[in-house]
Chain A
Amino acid sequence: AQSVSQHNHHVILSEAASLELGCNYSYGGTVNLFWYVQYPGQHLQLLLKYFSGDPLVKGIKGFEAEFIKSKFSFNLRKPSVQWSDTAEYFCAVILYNFNKFYFGSGTKLNVKP
């Protein structure tokens, strides 16, 4: 079965610290990759996506992610976090030409002011 792993379940950072959240998937074929964010009490919103082309993609609010095909990874980064980045972050994968999205278990980020 396909799977998406997010190894960091809970991350605590101070404002201005750098962030990197890991995401690995288990499928060897072509994939579309996503990072979603869920602010407290809200629904999931798209941060960024990768379909093809430049493996370094930029999203909203200063987030970026790098697709490394050889490592089956799609890690999320932000150079300097803010208190308003406190949220839960989900990595998601969809197998190309298939209909199912697979989500990781999520990483809760707590940014201390």
Chain B
Amino acid sequence: NAGVTQTPKFRVLKTGQSMTLLCAQDMNHEYMYWYRQDPGMGLRLIHYSVGEGTTAKGEVPDGYNVSRLKKQNFLLGLESAAPSQTSVYFCASSVYSYEQYFGPGTRLTVT
């Protein structure tokens, strides 16, 4: 099993550009999450999903959109990138309220 994978691993965007991050899991988990990790701030939840076709906002949802069209995939979109969105993005999945399994992360730089 690959676990949780994320595409791409690195990306550099110019302010105003858009992009989509892809998260895929092969563990048949119901719940999926997107976090951003910034120095000294731990992980902050952006959006999450408790099942195919459902999404909900986390702590810091502004400037991001998500979709969960298939159970195994969770997409994170940036419509108009801003320098404040420079971060490392982690996807995770879980079986309900049990431990989360994390992907390797995507390092995004917005110039």
Contact = CB atoms under 8 A, between A and B. Distances in A.
B102 interface: yes
Nearest to A48: B99
Interface residues of B, number: 24
B27 interface: no
Contact of B90 (A43, A46, A96, A105): A43
A105 B40 CA distance: 6
B45 A9 contact: no
Interface string A23-44: 0000000001010100000111
Interface residues of A, number: 26
Contacts of B101: 46
A45 B102 contact: yes
A51 B33 CA distance: 20
A49 B44 CA distance: 20
B99 A105 contact: no
B15 to A, nearest CB: 27
A99 interface: yes
